[in-house]
Amino acid sequence: MKAIHNLLAALALGIAALPAAAETCDSNEAFTLVLHGGFLDYEEEVGPPHRALFRKLLKSGREQLASGGSALDIVVDSIAALEDSGILDAGKGSIVNTAGFTETDASLMDGRSGRSGAVAAMQRLKNPIKASRLVMDKTEHVLFAGTNGEQTLAGLGAELVKDPASYFQKYTPQPTDEPTKPKHGTVGAAALDRCGNLAAGTSTGGWRDKLPGRVGDSPIIGAGTYADNRRCAVSGTGVGEEYIRHSVAYAIGALMEYQGLSLAAAVDRVIDETLKPGDGGVIAMDPQGRIAMRYNTPSMLRGAADSSGRFEVKIWD
């Protein structure tokens, strides 16, 4: 129905607006969506707005998946909404670096094809996850970085904000801040659609104490994001440097394929043995839509919805 609706809308607009690849995903019944919003370190931030946002996005994503939407589309839509919310450390809500300005990172991977797109150290992209989709769809490349990369992506249609200093959240240090702790949380999503395709994506403004130009794991395929229909879909949040050194997202898939571990066991191994306490967490999904949401930080904002009726949002244990 949705494809027909899109087609009719396209015909009304003229043939040039025909959808390039209208696709229905209904060969399977099962679908799953899982989201994370990283580690929330302040009591006052942990509350109704975050839970309400996650419930809204899970409901919307569940509807899209039920009606045959693609995992890739729902991952992008969900993360773009988290970026636009301004209450998490991604997109509009991104914190500033030690020099007082915002640099964002994001990535996206399609588990069906292995196609990937990512952006790093971007100062003016409104939606880093949408720019990642542009990289995937419109270039031969996977990753663009810095102001030159941003200009290239603007030329391909990425939306830039006019006044980054007013658009992005200004972080104001509080007297109670512990400087070694992260401020706010990276966001991410993973989904299984009714075609049996997996997708995953991640977006962040990085850490409060990051130096200008620092890039974490969020835009690194295999570190912060990974999706392969035969293995799993993963999005991470935490001390990005550790996720890069240990190729955390890829490692979960390698443990499943090469050691025969279940998704849950592979995630446990990485969170409990590869990483150190306090390093972070992951959301992950196997090809059957079974999920794992593990972390070794005090909290992780997370939520899941699936075709069996599961619907949950949690922050603490």
C-alpha to C-alpha distance for 19 and 73, rounded to whole angstroms: 14
Nearer to a second copy, 109 or 293 (CB): 109
Q: Least distance from C-beta 247 to a second copy, angstroms? A: 4
Binding residue (CB under 8 A) for a second copy from 43, 44, 140, 317: 140
* Contacts with 17 (C-beta within 8 Å, 6 or more apart), sequence order: 9, 10
Q: Is 298 in the site for a second copy (CB under 8 A)?
A: no
Applying CB under 8 A, the site for a second copy has a residue count of: 49
| Cα distance between residue 283 and residue 189, in whole Å | 8
Q: Return d(Cα 83, Cα 126) in angstroms, integer.
A: 8
Give me the least distance between CB of 164 and a second copy, in Å please: 13
Contact between 168 and a second copy by CB under 8 A: the answer reads no
Compute the distance between CA of residue 124 and CA of residue 129 in angstroms, rounded to an integer: 13
Q: Is 251 in the site for a second copy (CB under 8 A)?
A: yes
- Nearer to a second copy by C-beta: 228 or 286? 228
Rounded CA separation 264/290 (Å): 9
145 binds a second copy (CB under 8 A): yes
**Interface pattern 210-249 for a second copy (x via CB under 8 A):** xxxxxxx---xxxx--x-------------xx--xxxx--
Given the residues 104, 186, 204, 297, the one annotated as active site: 186
Binding of residue 190 to a second copy (CB under 8 A): no
Task: Quote the CA–CA distance of 83 and 94 in Å, as a whole number.
Answer: 8
User: What binding mask, one character per residue, do residues 91-130 give for a second copy by CB under 8 A, x or -?
Assistant: --------x---x-----x----xxx---xx-x-------
**Count of C-beta atoms within a 10 Å radius of residue 8:** 10
Find, among 274, 280, 272, 273, the residue nearest to 299 by Cα.
280
Q: What CA–CA distance (Å, rounded) separates 129 from 152?
A: 16
| Catalytic residue list contains 172 | no
Tokens 């006019």, located at residue: 162
Map the footprint of a second copy across residues 19-58, applying CB under 8 A: none
Out of 60, 152, 296, 307, point to the residue binding a second copy (CB under 8 A): 152
CA dihedral 105, 56, 308, 109 (to 10 degrees): -20
Residues that bind a second copy (CB under 8 A): 99, 103, 109, 114-116, 120-121, 123, 139-153, 209-216, 220-223, 226, 240-241, 244-247, 250-251, 254-255, 258-259
Known catalytic residues? Answer: 186
